[in-house]
Amino acid sequence: MSGIVEWYKDIMYNKNDPRTSDWFLVSSPGSLLVILVSYVYFCTSAGPRYMKDKKPYELRNLMIVYNFVQVVLSCYLFYEGLMSGWLFDYNLKCQPVDYSDNPQAIRMANGVHFYFVCKLIELLDTVFFVLRKKNRQISTLHVFHHTLMPICAWIGVRWLPNGHGTFLGVINAFVHIIMYTYYMLSSIGPFMNKYLWWKRYLTVLQLVQFCMIFVHSTQILFNGCNFPKSLSFLLSLNAIIFIYMFSSFYVENYLKNKRKNEANGTIKGKAE
């Protein structure tokens, strides 16, 4: 047991990036774990029980503002990710972590920390689902995704706040620009639905995102790049899990439903 404790202390306090160790919510995992455990408990148990005998809250104006803010934050993250390295300087095949006080390295580290904070803000997505009694949208995929992303971002800030792994954040920010634009438009009112025929392609975009991350991370395992292979493996594994889960979601919600609708239409036609 003492060996495990010493190993934990060594990883947490000797091998972390000292530049970011005192940043907001980064000094220890305790605060993050409390937030995430509270999030899961509220969204899967306490929240639905609280709302069971209540009418859904009308949050239209709040949702419009929230989604607009998310679009702005995602645009900022995408811009910072590009300007801090990925547009001009970073190498897609291999980008080691820069632990120096180079202004560009610090700028990317600040961007990663801001990305981490944004992942915490995004937990409100599920809270709003609960308050609006949209329980069908509180899927295992949704809760797992929103719980895991802050953990990945926290690991990035504490140990690897720039370099190869930040590609994930840039791609994710781009996807979120489109995704939250859709959510903002859909929250305006039902009359917008005719303009939102592209909903299913959001899932396709998510799948493309994780395929890109898988390829980008997996190459590190074979090209001799000076970037932690353990983290590259975890990023690749994470991408595989999400590819499977989003693929299953797409098949279940779009392909199978399409077949059911076609079958029902055929039966209805015969009956008439």
d(CA 230, CA 254): 36
Out of 113, 145, 146, 164, pick the active-site residue.
Answer: 145
d(CA 1, CA 167): 37
The token pair that represents 27 in the structure block:
């000094």
* Burial class of residue 86 (count of CB atoms within 10 Å of its CB; 0-12, 13-18, 19+): buried
Long-range CB contacts (within 8 A, 24+) of 5-8: none
CB count within 10 Å of CB 57 equals: 13
Mark 2-21 as b/e (b = at least 16 C-beta within 10 Å): eeeeeeeeeeeeeebbeebe
Reduced to 3 states, what is the DSSP secondary structure of residue 263?
helix
Q: How many Cα atoms occupy the beta-carbon half-sphere of 199 within 13 Å?
A: 12
Does 146 participate in catalysis according to the annotation? no
**d(C-alpha 51, C-alpha 73), whole Å:** 30
Torsion, CA 149, CA 45, CA 26, CA 115, rounded to 10: 30
Token pair listed for 43 = 């969204």
SS (H, E, C) 40-73: HHHHHHHHHHHHCCCCCCCCHHHHHHHHHHHHHH
Active site residues: 145
